[in-house]
Amino acid sequence: MPEDERLPQPATADIDLVTVLHALGDPVRMRLLLSYADGAEHSCAPRDLGLEHLHKSTVSHHMRVLREAGVTTTRVAGRNRFVSLRRTDLDTRFPGLLDALLSAAPPQP
């Protein structure tokens, strides 16, 4: 049986602050960040993320932007994809950034 794979993402040393801030400048991606902040892996289903009002392709786009910026990692297991926050990598590159963003974010419904 093949092992799980990761979709392409930048190495920790290549995560760029401007790119991360740009990625998190969108309200939907900020909401995703708040969901991923629990440290668990999340499926990509919009309904599981409270984004059922958005088309699946739109949610996929937002997830790709976060992954390519280095904010999240995506594990592929067969036909399923699971997303989690790269908290350790982000804290290594930008100490305190995530905590500041999470504490400043408005509460989610």
90-108: per-residue pLDDT in tens?
A: 999 999 999 999 998 777 6
Helices (H), the chain: 17-23, 27-36, 56-69, 87-93, 97-104
Q: Which two tokens stand for residue 7?
A: 């979709």
Domains along the chain with CATH numbers: 5-102 (1.10.10.10)
**Residue 60 φ/ψ, nearest 5 degrees:** -60, -40
Q: Could you report the per-residue pLDDT of 61-98, keeping only the tens digit for each?
A: 999 999 999 999 999 988 889 999 999 999 999 999 99
CA dist., res. 44 & res. 59, Å (int): 8
Q: State the number of CA atoms in the 13 A half-sphere of 22 facing the CB.
A: 10
AA identity, residue 40: A
Whether the model pTM is above 0.75: yes
